[in-house]
Every structure is written in structure tokens, then in C-alpha cells.
Amino acid sequence: MPAIQEVDDRATRALRPSRETVQRPPDRAPSPYRWGHAGEVYPGPWQVQGLFVWAREPVGSDHADRGGSLMSATVIVGLQWGDEGKGKTTDFLAEQTSMVVRYQGGDNAGHTVVRGDEVFKLRLTPSGVLYPHMTSVIGNGVVVNPLTLIDELDMLTTRGIDVSRVRVSRSAHVIMPYHVALDRANEARLAGAAVGTTGRGIGPTYGDKAWRLGLRMEDLLDRAVLRERLERLLPDKNLLLSSMGADPFAIDDLVDLALGWGDRLGDHLDDATWLVQRALARGEHVLLEGAQGTLLDLDHGSYPFVTSSNPVAGGACTGGGVGPLQVDEVIGVMKAYSTRVGSGPYPTELLDGIGQGIAERGNEFGTVTGRPRRVGWFDAVPLRYAVAVNSVTSIMLNKLDILSGIDCLRICVAYEIDGRRIDTWPSSGAALARATPIYDEFPGWSEPIHGVRSLGDLPENARRYVTALEEHAGVPIVLVSVGPERTQTIERAWRAMRQRQVVPA
Ligand code: GDP
């Protein structure tokens, strides 16, 4: 059976029959009206290659010849507690796209991208910035600490990266110094009950956004607006800060500081939604990159031990400026084991030498904070939930190499909660805290696998492990990463899927 058929079969027997698999029509011809319109208004159409072919028109069709589908937004989403290696995934896929958009989070998330001998730690700029052809967009759903962004742009420039293509949404909210101070003072006050935030003001900034008290990036350009807003909101912030024993802020200092940021970043500000929409209208590929992961989602994670935004794929629409039907692909990213930062229930946590070994080999320390991450066995219960809630169409599995040398591997397949077997991710954090994992066991493999480039060359036990994960996910694992570098990637169904358009249904 050819590889291509294997992928198709797996997708067809997915637990979640979806439009992407059995029911989705193979040809999604874009409306001729829209096409004509886009052609008149914007340059193009450009010739583009599909990331995954089921989103593209058959070879030889009118639209394929003219450059492919109008809708080619791909979302990259973390399926665990963040730190799944999305940086590498985006960097790997970015080669084939013209734009990468970060859609939520702030400088609490870090991406590490390795290029040859060079290691880039990025906190705000989307990982695709390392490619010279790429427009990197910080979307409206992100909260921006201007100081961090300026530092990062300077760092990239010093290292020879052209940052003129970094665009920042005018509507993205600004993390102000009082947000950071409030975050830290609040965590200190909560002591043992703290959420374990990174203390970077992300939560308070999203809070102000919802309260309609926030400052947006475009406000940094306007002294009058800045002063008027700060006059309205600063007294309350200072009152709160004083009540927690922290220092208040002076309005004049804040206005000057903010105007300085605006001066420095003004050239990067843009209407990000239209940037994205124009790229899609030209038939270009746009990658939308989330920070953190599904289990830290404000709505879908284990509340309150969550982040203050929506890392799930739906967040790409609100935070990146695309409509739900413009998203063709949702690539879920997961590690071959699990990690978690901060507090909160974590049923598969490993507190023994095996966990310590994984943490050391996997370098499981926060990119931004340096905090050691908690490490555990792979948990398939939230995986099934994450696949469903994100409409995941395919998966990149990272860090398989880190599991080399462990005699017996475990995958959590269900929980026992209050004496009952539970197969589904509980919405209650309290229930999760009482969960005891039920494991399937797998024999491990001893040899290093960094050099492996095809699934067939993996040790048999590693292949079995990957297959088991795929069966739990119900969607194909198309890429398997065996090292931090771009080249250390097994392109499993990747090329086969590109050819899928020529295979009869
Ligand atoms: P992100 O926030 O999801 O992008 O994750 P991080 O960047 O914090 O963590 C991923 C770390 O793992 C980075 O240091 C990557 O270079 C590294 N990494 C990614 N994939 C692999 C892999 O397959 N094997 C190994 N050994 N390291 C990897």
C-alpha cells in the first residue's frame, strides 16, 4: 500500500469524521467573484505551493494553474501545556509561506529556533522572522511589552536579521509598567495560591482590554490620547498598587516613556487584519502561530491555572484577523512526553529520576524565565480533547529523541476519578486534581535517533510509540522531530500528502 493511501486511511478512520477527512469536498473552488475582485485590487495571483494538498485544487484545474486556493491560512497550535516546540514547527513550515502571524499571548511565551550553530530565543516576534522572504506579524490578539519588542528587534538586527518586515497590529494592547507591577504584587499577595504567572503583566493587560481600559499600540503615537487615558485609569491602578505595598506611577513619566516607545516602533505599526486578508486574497500562505498551549487556554484549560488568552485555534480568528472558514489546516504540535510550567493539577507528573532525566535531556527550562518545567508521561486524555477543540487536521510530534534510553514508556489513556474510569478531559480543575492516571506501557528503545530521517529507520519500539499516539489523536502525525534543527525532522506523510490531489478518491 503506498504511503499516500496509508495517510488517507488514517484520516478516514479518524475518531472525528470531519469535513477535512471524509466529507470535505476535494475541490473547493474559490468564488470567481472574490478572485476577480482580489485580482483587481491586489497584485498577483502568485504561484504558491500547497502545504497540504487537500486544501488545494486538483492539478490542472483552472484555479490551481492560477495560483491555488484563496483560503490558505494554517494555524499552528500547541496541544499540551505549551513549550511543545512550536517555534521549530513554525520555522520548519515558514519556508513555504509568506507570512507568519502571532495571534495571542505576550512576552511570557518564548520560542527557541535553532539555525545551524545559532540559537534564537524569540519572545514576541513570530519565528518566521529568520526567513528573508517572510512578513512577521504581531496580531491584534497579542499583548505587547514595547520594551521587550524593541530589545528583540535590536537583537535580531545585531545578528544580521532584517526586521523591516516585522509588522505590529495597531490594535494590539500595550503592557504598561503598572500591569507588570500589579501582576507581581498580586502573585506575591496570593503566595501559596498563586497561579504561577511569569509576572510580566500579561493577565492585567488582558483584564484592562476586557474592561475597555487598555492602551493600544496606536495610542503610543498620540500624546493627547495617552494623557487622557492615563488620567482616567492611573488613579485606580495606583490605589491598588499602594494597597498591595507597591510603588505608584507618575503620569508624566508614563506619557514620556510611552511616546518614546511609539517613536521607536511607529514604523512597524500596521493594520494587521488587512495585511493578512490581502495576503490571503493574493493566494499566499499565511501561518498563524499560537503561544502556550490548549491546556493553558483561558476557556478550555484547567482554570484558574491558565493563561489570560485563547491559544486554541479559534483564537487565531479573533487574534489574527481571519475568519473560521479561511483556515484550511490546523497543525497540532505536541511533544513525545509532557511538561507543564506553573501551578495546577498535572496527573502524569513524574517526580522521579526518569522525569529528571527527561528534563535534563530535553532542556526543560523556560525560554523566558529559566524556570524548570514539570515533566510527565504523555497524556492522551487531553490530547483527544485538544484535537477536537482545535479541529486539528494533522500533528507534528516533537522531541521523540529525548525518550531514547528509557526502558519502559507510558502513555496515560484514561483517568480514575473517585473510583470511576474517565476517558474524557474533565472541565473541572478540582476533578483533575483527584485524577489517577491509567497507563498503557510500551517497551522503549536505547539507541539515539537524531540522525533518523524516515519513519522506517526508527527503532521498531519508537514506531510503535508514534503509532499509539496517532491512534489516540485520530489524525495523522505528519512530521516527527528528532532534534532541534530544521533538518532533524522526519517528513512522514508530508510529501505524500502533497501528492494527494492526484490520487483518486
Ligand atoms: P515553544 O514555546 O512551543 O516553541 O517551545 P520552546 O521553544 O520553549 O521549546 C522547545 C525547545 O525544544 C527548543 O529549545 C527547541 O530548540 C527544542 N526542540 C524542538 N524540537 C526538538 C526535538 O525534536 N528534539 C530536541 N532535542 N529538541 C527540540
| Span from the CA of 361 to the centroid of ligand 1 (angstroms) | 11
Question: Which atom of ligand 1 sits closest to the CA of residue 402?
Answer: 26
Q: Contact, 438 vs 415, CB < 8 A?
A: yes
Catalytic residues: 83, 111
Identify the residue whose cell numbers are 491555488.
Answer: 68
Under DSSP, the state recorded for 344 is S
pLDDT digits (tens, 9 = 90+) for 463-503: 999 999 999 999 889 899 999 988 899 987 544 333 333 22
DSSP state of 140: T
Number of residues in the chain: 505
3-state secondary structure of 378: strand
Q: Residue 71 above 80 pLDDT?
A: no
Name the more confident of 275 and 87.
275
CA–centroid distance, residue 484 to ligand 1 (Å): 6
pLDDT at 33: 35
- For residue 227, give every residue at least 6 positions away whose Cβ sits within 8 Å of its Cβ, in sequence order, or none: 251, 255
Evaluate: CB of 146 within 6 angstroms of ligand 1.
Answer: no
Q: What angle do CA 87, 88, 92 make, to 5 degrees?
A: 120
Report long-range pairs for 295-302 (Cβ below 8 Å, ≥24 apart): 295/80, 295/81, 295/340, 295/382, 295/386, 296/81, 296/82, 300/385, 300/389, 302/344, 302/345, 302/429, 302/432
Q: How confident is the model at residue 193 (pLDDT cuts 50, 70, 90)?
A: low
Residue 246 has pLDDT above 90, yes or no: yes
**Beta carbons of 28 and 71 less than 8 angstroms apart:** yes
**114: buried, middle or exposed (CB in 10 Å: 19+, 13-18, 0-12)?**
middle
CB 144 within 8 A of CB 245: no
Mutate to test the pocket of ligand 1, among 79, 93, 112 (most ligand atoms within 8 A of CB): 112
Whether the Cβ atoms of residue 5 and residue 503 lie closer than 8 Å to each other: yes
Nearest protein CA to atom 10 of ligand 1, as residue: 85
Q: 28: closest CA among 50, 4, 3, 10?
A: 50
Whether residue 4 has pLDDT greater than 90: no
Residue with cell 506611577: 249
Alpha carbon distance 316, 139 (integer Å): 9
92 alpha carbon – ligand 1 mean position (Å):
12
Q: Which amino acid is at 175?
A: I
Which of 422-431, 439-448, 481-490 is least confident? 422-431
- pLDDT tens-digit series, residues 386-421: 999 999 999 999 999 999 999 999 999 999 999 999
Q: If you take atom 13 of ligand 1, which residue's CA is the nearest one?
A: 112
User: Within a 13 Å sphere around the CA of 258, how many CA atoms are in the beta-carbon half?
Assistant: 28
All three cell numbers of 489, joined, read 525532522
Q: Which one-letter amino acid corresponds to residue 199?
A: G
Q: Distance from CA of residue 485 to its chain's centroid?
A: 18
Asked if the model's pLDDT at residue 51 lies above 60, the reply is: no
Question: Is the shortest distance between the CB of 204 and ligand 1 below 6 Å?
Answer: no
Report the pLDDT value the prediction gives residue 409, as an integer from 0 to 100.
Answer: 98
pLDDT tens, position by position, 33-46: 333 333 323 223 33
Query: What pLDDT score was predicted for residue 211?
Result: 94
Q: Which amino acid is at 300?
A: H
What is the average pLDDT value for the chain, to the nearest integer?
83
CB neighbour list of residue 351: distance below 8 Å, 6 or more residues apart: none
**What three-state secondary structure class fits 416?**
strand
Q: Which pLDDT band, with edges at 50, 70 and 90, does 67 fall under?
A: very low
Q: Is the CB of 452 under 6 A from ligand 1?
A: no
Rounded-to-integer distance, Cα 246 and Cα 185, Å: 7
Cα of 111 vs centre of ligand 1, distance in Å, is 8
- Is the pLDDT at 54 greater than 60, yes or no? no
Asked whether the predicted pLDDT for residue 180 surpasses 80, the reply is: yes
Q: Which atom of ligand 1 is nearest to the CA of 485?
A: 16
Residue among 92, 398, 480, 486 to mutate when testing ligand 1 (max atoms within 8 A of CB)? 398
85 lines ligand 1 (CB under 6 A): yes
User: What values do phi and psi take at 457, rounded to 5?
Assistant: -90, -5
Q: Are 474 and 30 in contact (CB under 8 A)?
A: no
DSSP 447: S
Ligand 1 atom 17 nearest Cα: 484
What spacing in Å lies between the alpha carbon of 364 and ligand 1's midpoint?
A: 9
Cα 87 to ligand 1 centroid, rounded to whole Å: 7
Q: Are 329 and 478 in contact (CB under 8 A)?
A: no
Ligand 1: atom nearest CA of 114 is: 16
Say if ligand 1 is within 6 A of residue 114 CB.
yes
Give the pLDDT score at 47.
33
How many H-runs (helices) and E-runs (strands) does the chain carry?
A: 16, 20
88 lines ligand 1 (CB under 6 A): yes
Instruction: Report which listed range, 1-10, 45-54, 434-443, is most confident.
Output: 434-443
Q: How far is CA 390 from CA 75, 233, 243, 470, in A?
A: 9, 36, 41, 16
Beta strands 269-270 and 166-169 are parallel
C-alpha dist (Å) from residue 113 to 119, 123, 166, 486: 6, 11, 17, 9
pLDDT, average across residues 46-51: 37
Ligand 1 near 366 CB (within 6 A): no
Q: CB of 86 closer than 6 A to ligand 1?
A: yes
Whether 482 is in the pocket of ligand 1, judged by its Cβ within 6 Å, is yes
For residue 127, which atom of ligand 1 is closest to its CA? Answer: 4
Ligand 1 contacts CB of residue 135 (under 6 A): no
Cβ neighbour number for residue 446 with a 10 Å cutoff: 10
CA 186 to CA 189: how far, in whole Å?
5
How many other CB atoms are found less than 10 A from the CB of residue 470?
17
Grid cell, residue 276, equals 493578512
C-alpha–C-alpha distance, residues 349 and 377, integer Å: 7
